[in-house]
């Protein structure tokens, strides 16, 4: 780029390719998704269940070895209403991005909420996972379409306040 | 920067390496991610001195996000230690040897008595030659995408042109390091078995004048060290490896403005660490971070070590030429040297770590079984 | 316990960034010079000419003279390293030598490539000259120099 006749900027694009490997714990979680299951791991010291698991307890620094199969139900601990469109988006805006604490887990993860008007989503909302057709399951969170309300009464604040 | 008096208490507490552990140095760690590789290493290094993470006053790590391809990857690595209760922690985007330098300054300042230093790196998932091009000047050098072997080759040519070494000397360095590496159970980089210099000189050039035996293998690895100060070190280890000098110097990043056949920053770092004026030649063991064979010769000249004299046991681990886990190999040099002081096979040791292209910056660490032994203490 | 295949999962991951860098007065002037087919260096207070130019003297840290001086276009190879296997994005896609080239009038050298045809034609101390791309292809990058070539070949 030039201003008048001077060169004042240069393009210096970079590209790096990686052969990424998920590690043992994350691979087990992703493999679980291929069978329609959420797998967490339990810490032998503090007994917390982490999902998705990373092979170590972030509090105690010990290896996690025990797989725990979690169900499909959980609680919305917090959420936001997204109005910003992005490139390649296939979801209608506004949409809800929420932190979902699966029953039995001690760590929430991010998910999409659908089948409820955006202004009715609230903390404590009880939800369940809506999976894609089993033929479309793969080692990816995209095997889950979204989470929808499951009709249960809202969870008590005390039951999830530590996960905010 | 050299050792300074502690401004708070006026006390100069000696700091020692009391424990060292490393993962296998392998060509490719496919199964485990960085956290999973680090967990057993951290566990071992703490276990050797009967400590847990809660006994560490400071934690410092060395790694590079570019190897993982993800920003803040070093934050996830803290899972291998367990960051609760909240801990005093820091990180350098450099080899763990430089994380050790930071931890040493914290202990010297009297802020705490113990520190855990760890480093990790899987070079195998990345295109390492491209990753390393990104440490270069972004205007003048990186746009040409030179690979690290090309840059090292320019340095090797400069060394040959200076008359100070020949390709045969490079092969002799490789031969000696490989023989030592065969005895190191932590080196699992599948090196060829031959040692005859004549056969090595028949290899085809990678980038002339460098042949395969003069360049390091792509290596995945992890390592950790525990530092302790004063009496705490004596409680944790019966024969601590006292850091009696530590210094780090850097040259310009403009390759064409340097004399590549010498290493003035290593010479200065050695002086700062109390090992100048020939004192480096009096150590029992020297672990030099020379990923390329010709660089060991350059470093020996800068340090005043004559490899032929046999006085100094040079790279008994096999050195970085045989196992070069990026971000780890420098810390491993310090660990290997310290280990020999701890186990009593050496009274004085020198460890060196480097960073940047062609030995651009260099750290020298002087270790001894006596905390009073050294100008830098 | 779920029966999960034990294999670790792998995937290709690409990191791309389209950086646009502002240059400042010194590198900007150097880049403008390249676009116009000139090699420019910076003079230090001690009278040395740093090439490629920096805003500071690498030895003392002092500012260099803001008015760059022309050097080259010919110079001397200070070191070289032949490669038979160029890698992606490197300046040439045929065998070449990496080189540190010190243009006439400069006291330091620049990293670039030598298009000499064969390693037998390369030696430290040989004289080379910059071969620029056609003007229409230049943007002010060091790649505006396609390669250095033996001086007697021009």
- The domain segmentation of chain A, as residue ranges, is 23-156
Q: Is the pLDDT of residue C154 over 60?
A: no
Q: Given this model, what pLDDT does residue B9 score?
A: 46
Q: Given this model, what pLDDT does residue C1 score?
A: 33
Q: Given this model, what pLDDT does residue B301 score?
A: 98
Chains that touch A (3 or more CB pairs under 8 A): B, C
How many angstroms away from the CA of A115 is the closest CA of chain B?
Answer: 34
Q: Is residue A1 within 8 Å of A8, Cβ to Cβ?
A: yes
CB pairs A-C closer than 8 Å: 96
- The string of pLDDT tens digits covering residues C128-146 is 999 999 999 999 999 999 9
Q: CA-to-CA distance for B249 and B232, rounded, in angstroms? A: 30
Give the pair of three-digit tokens for residue B204. 């085809």
Interface test with A, best of B30, B34, B36 (most A CBs within 10 A): B36
**Which residue in chain C is spatially nearest to B261 when comparing CA positions?**
C79
Q: Is residue B60 within 8 Å of B225, Cβ to Cβ?
A: no
CB contact under 8 A, B260 and C79: yes
Q: Given this model, what pLDDT does residue A86 score?
A: 77
Note the ipTM here.
0.95
Q: Is the dihedral of CA C132, C137, C139, C143 positive or negative?
A: negative
Query: In chain A, what residues touch C4 (CB-CB under 8 Å)?
Result: 28, 31-32, 35, 39, 67
Q: Is residue B34 within 8 Å of B213, Cβ to Cβ?
A: no
- The string of pLDDT tens digits covering residues C28-69 is 999 999 999 999 999 999 999 999 999 999 989 999 998 999
Write out B20-63 in H/E/C secondary structure: EEECCEECCCCCCCHHHHHHHHHHHHHHCCCCCHHHCCEEEEEC
Q: Given this model, what pLDDT does residue A4 score?
A: 73
Place of tokens 């090992």: B275
CB contact under 8 A, B36 and A21: no
Q: B127: helix, coil or strand?
A: coil
Place of tokens 């390393």: B132
A86 touches chain B (CB under 8 A): no
Identify the band that residue A90 occupies on the pLDDT scale cut at 50, 70 and 90. Answer: confident
- Strands B25-26 and B187-188 turn out to be parallel
List Cα–Cα distances, B331 to A123, B45, B352, B365, C133, in angstroms.
48, 13, 9, 11, 45
How many angstroms away from the CA of C98 is the closest CA of chain B?
Answer: 7
Query: In chain B, what residues touch C91 (CB-CB under 8 Å)?
Result: 144
Taking residues B142-153, report their average pLDDT. Answer: 98
Q: Given this model, what pLDDT does residue A1 score?
A: 62
Q: Is the dihedral of CA B266, B267, B268, B272 positive or negative?
A: positive
Q: Given this model, what pLDDT does residue B221 score?
A: 97
Q: Is residue B84 within 8 Å of B52, Cβ to Cβ?
A: no
Q: B300: helix, coil or strand?
A: helix
Maximal CA-CA distance, chain B:
61
Listed residue (B99, B130, B132, B133) closest to B116, CA to CA: B99
Give the pair of three-digit tokens for residue C37. 């087919």
Query: In chain B, what residues touch C98 (CB-CB under 8 Å)?
Result: 146, 150-151, 153-154, 207
Identify the band that residue B10 occupies on the pLDDT scale cut at 50, 70 and 90. Answer: very low
Q: CA-to-CA distance for B139 and B189, rounded, in angstroms? A: 35
Residue with more model confidence, A87 or A74? A74
Taking residues B76-102, report their average pLDDT. Answer: 95
Strands, sheet with A38-42, edge to edge from the N-terminal-most edge strand? A49-50, A38-42, A66-70
A44 touches chain B (CB under 8 A): no
Give the end-to-end CA distance of chain A in Å, rounded to a whole number.
47
Lowest model confidence (mean pLDDT) among A75-79, B67-71, C111-115: B67-71
Q: Is the pLDDT of residue B8 over 70?
A: no
Q: Is the pLDDT of residue B154 over 50?
A: yes
Q: Is the pLDDT of residue B374 over 90?
A: no
**Which residue in chain C is spatially nearest to A6 when comparing CA positions?**
C32
Q: Given this model, what pLDDT does residue B194 score?
A: 66
Q: CA-to-CA distance for B275 and B304, rounded, in angstroms? A: 10
- The string of pLDDT tens digits covering residues B256-283 is 999 999 999 999 999 999 999 999 999 9
Delimit the domains of chain C by residue range. 24-153
Q: Is residue B250 within 8 Å of B345, Cβ to Cβ?
A: no
Taking residues B223-239, report their average pLDDT. Answer: 97
Lowest model confidence (mean pLDDT) among B189-203, B206-220, C62-76: B189-203
Let me know the angle formed at the C-alpha of A22 by A18 and A26, rounded to the nearest 5 degrees: 160
Run of H or E residues at C43: strand C39-43
Give the pair of three-digit tokens for residue A15. 């590209």
**Which residue in chain B is spatially nearest to A9 when comparing CA positions?**
B139
Q: Given this model, what pLDDT does residue B196 score?
A: 85
Query: In chain A, what residues touch B80 (CB-CB under 8 Å)?
Result: 56, 61
Q: C142: helix, coil or strand?
A: helix
Q: B236: helix, coil or strand?
A: helix
Query: In chain B, what residues touch C99 (CB-CB under 8 Å)?
Result: 154
Q: Is residue B176 within 8 Å of B290, Cβ to Cβ?
A: no
Taking residues B39-62, report their average pLDDT. Answer: 97
Q: CA-to-CA distance for B148 and B357, rounded, in angstroms? A: 7
Average pLDDT, chain C: 94
CB contact under 8 A, A9 and C20: yes
Q: CA-to-CA distance for B364 and A35, rounded, in angstroms? A: 54
Q: Given this model, what pLDDT does residue A92 score?
A: 81
* Cross-strand pairs, A140: none
The architecture CATH gives domain B15-127+218-236: 3-Layer(aba) Sandwich (3.40)
Taking residues A31-50, report their average pLDDT. Answer: 95
B126 touches chain A (CB under 8 A): yes
CB contact under 8 A, C81 and B31: no
CB contact under 8 A, C100 and B209: no
Percent of chain A having pLDDT more than 90? Answer: 80
Q: Is the pLDDT of residue B133 over 70?
A: yes
Q: Is residue C122 within 8 Å of C80, Cβ to Cβ?
A: yes
Query: In chain C, what residues touch A14 (CB-CB under 8 Å)?
Result: 15-17, 19
How many angstroms away from the CA of A90 is the closest CA of chain C?
Answer: 22
- The string of pLDDT tens digits covering residues A131-153 is 999 999 999 999 999 999 999 99
Give the pair of three-digit tokens for residue A163. 């996960």
Query: In chain A, what residues touch B84 (CB-CB under 8 Å)?
Result: 58-60
Q: Given this model, what pLDDT does residue C6 score?
A: 64
Q: Given this model, what pLDDT does residue A116 score?
A: 94
* Alpha-helical regions (H) of chain B: 34-47, 65-68, 73-77, 96-108, 128-133, 148-161, 167-182, 197-200, 230-236, 264-272, 293-303, 319-322, 329-342
Residue with more model confidence, B13 or B329? B329
Average pLDDT, chain B: 94
Query: In chain C, what residues touch B139 (CB-CB under 8 Å)?
Result: 21, 23, 27, 31, 52, 142
Q: CA-to-CA distance for B255 and C110, rounded, in angstroms? A: 8
Place of tokens 């993800």: B70
- The string of pLDDT tens digits covering residues C3-31 is 444 678 888 999 999 999 999 999 999 99
Delimit the domains of chain B by residue range. 15-127+218-236
Please compute, for residue B53, the number of CA atoms within 13 A of its CA located in the half-sphere on the CB side: 24
Listed residue (C36, C110, C26) closest to C68, CA to CA: C26
Q: A134: helix, coil or strand?
A: helix
How many angstroms away from the CA of B78 is the closest CA of chain C?
Answer: 22
Interface test with B, best of A43, A58, A61, A65 (most B CBs within 10 A): A61
CB pairs A-B closer than 8 Å: 84
Q: CA-to-CA distance for C103 and A152, rounded, in angstroms? A: 78
CB contact under 8 A, C13 and A26: no
Q: Within 10 Å of residue A135's Cβ, how many Cβ atoms?
A: 5
How many angstroms away from the CA of C142 is the closest CA of chain A?
Answer: 10
| pTM, rounded to two decimals | 0.94
- The string of pLDDT tens digits covering residues C90-99 is 999 999 999 9
How many angstroms away from the CA of C111 is the closest CA of chain A?
Answer: 17
Q: Within 10 Å of residue B192's Cβ, how many Cβ atoms?
A: 11
Q: CA-to-CA distance for A161 and A152, rounded, in angstroms? A: 18
A164 touches chain B (CB under 8 A): no
Query: In chain A, what residues touch C18 (CB-CB under 8 Å)?
Result: 11, 13
**Buried/exposed C39-73: b ≥16 CB within 10 Å, e otherwise:** bbbbbbeeebbbbbbbeebbeeeeebbeebeebbb
Percent of chain B having pLDDT more than 70? Answer: 96
Q: Is the pLDDT of residue A32 over 50?
A: yes
Run of H or E residues at A34: helix A23-34
Identify the band that residue B376 occupies on the pLDDT scale cut at 50, 70 and 90. Answer: very low
Q: CA-to-CA distance for C59 and B160, rounded, in angstroms? A: 25
B127 touches chain A (CB under 8 A): yes
Average pLDDT, chain A: 92
């Amino acid at each position: 780029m030039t201003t008048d006749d001077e060169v004042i900027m240069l393009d210096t694009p970079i590209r790096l390719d990686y052969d990424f490997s998920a590690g043992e714990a994350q691979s087990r979680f992703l493999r679980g998704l291929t069978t329609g299951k959420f797998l967490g791991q339990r810490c032998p010291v503090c007994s917390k269940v982490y999902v998705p698991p990373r092979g170590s307890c972030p509090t105690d620094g010990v290896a996690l070895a025990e797989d725990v199969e979690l169900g499909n139900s959980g609680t919305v601990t917090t959420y936001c209403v997204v109005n910003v469109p992005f490139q390649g988006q296939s979801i209608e805006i506004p949409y809800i991005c929420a932190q979902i604490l699966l029953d039995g887990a001690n760590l929430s993860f991010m998910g999409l909420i659908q089948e409820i008007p955006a202004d009715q989503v609230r903390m404590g909302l009880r939800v369940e996972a809506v999976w894609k057709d089993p033929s479309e399951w793969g080692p990816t969170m995209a095997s889950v379409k979204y989470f929808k309300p499951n009709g249960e009464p809202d969870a008590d604040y005390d039951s999830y306040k530590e996960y905010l | 920067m050299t050792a300074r008096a502690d401004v708070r208490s006026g006390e100069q507490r000696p700091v020692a390496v009391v424990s060292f552990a490393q993962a296998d140095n392998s060509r490719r760690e496919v199964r485990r991610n960085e956290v999973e590789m680090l967990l057993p290493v951290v566990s071992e290094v703490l276990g050797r001195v009967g400590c847990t993470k809660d006994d560490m006053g400071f934690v410092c790590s060395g790694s590079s996000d570019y190897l993982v391809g993800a920003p803040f990857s070093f934050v996830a690595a803290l899972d291998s230690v367990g960051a609760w209760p909240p801990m005093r922690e820091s990180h350098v985007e450099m080899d763990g040897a430089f994380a050790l330098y930071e931890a040493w300054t914290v202990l010297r300042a009297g802020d705490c008595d113990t520190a855990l230093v760890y480093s990790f790196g899987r070079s195998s998932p990345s295109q390492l030659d491209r990753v390393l091009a990104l440490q270069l000047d972004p205007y003048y050098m990186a746009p040409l995408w030179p690979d690290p072997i090309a840059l090292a080759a320019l340095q090797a040519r400069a060394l040959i042109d200076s008359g100070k070494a020949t390709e045969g000397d490079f092969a002799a360095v490789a031969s000696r390091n490989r023989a030592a590496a065969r005895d190191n159970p932590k080196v699992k980089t599948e090196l060829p078995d031959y040692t005859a210099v004549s056969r090595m000189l028949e290899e085809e050039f990678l980038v002339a004048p460098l042949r395969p035996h003069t360049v390091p293998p792509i290596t995945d690895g992890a390592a950790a060290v525990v530092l302790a100060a004063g009496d705490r070190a004596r409680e944790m280890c019966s024969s601590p490896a006292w850091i009696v000098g530590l210094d780090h110097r850097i040259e310009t990043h403009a390759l064409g403005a340097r004399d590549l056949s010498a290493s003035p920053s290593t010479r200065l770092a050695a002086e700062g660490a109390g090992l100048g004026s020939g004192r480096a030649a009096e150590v029992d063991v020297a672990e030099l971070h020379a990923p390329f064979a010709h660089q060991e010769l350059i470093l020996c000249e800068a340090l005043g070590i004559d490899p032929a004299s046999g006085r100094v046991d040079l790279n008994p681990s096999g050195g970085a030429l045989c196992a070069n886990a990026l971000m780890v190999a420098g810390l491993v040099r310090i660990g290997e040297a310290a280990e020999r002081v701890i186990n009593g096979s050496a009274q004085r040791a020198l460890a060196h770590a480097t960073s940047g292209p062609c030995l651009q910056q260099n750290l020298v660490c002087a270790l001894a079984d006596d905390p009073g032994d050294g100008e830098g203490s | 316990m779920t029966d999960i295949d034990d294999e670790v999962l792998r995937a290709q991951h690409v990191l791309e960034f389209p950086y646009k860098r502002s240059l400042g007065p010194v590198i900007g002037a150097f880049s403008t010079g390249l676009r116009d087919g000139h090699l420019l260096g910076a003079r230090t207070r001690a009278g040395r000419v740093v090439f490629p130019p920096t805003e500071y003297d690498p030895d003392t840290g002092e500012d260099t003279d803001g008015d760059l001086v022309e050097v080259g276009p010919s110079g001397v190879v200070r070191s070289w390293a032949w490669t038979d296997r160029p890698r992606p994005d490197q300046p040439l896609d045929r065998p070449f030598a990496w080189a540190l080239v010190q243009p006439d009038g400069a006291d330091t050298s620049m990293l670039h490539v030598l298009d000499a045809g064969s390693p037998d034609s390369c030696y430290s101390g040989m004289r080379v000259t910059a071969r620029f791309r056609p003007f229409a292809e230049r943007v002010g990058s060091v790649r505006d120099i396609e390669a250095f070539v033996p001086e007697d070949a021009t």
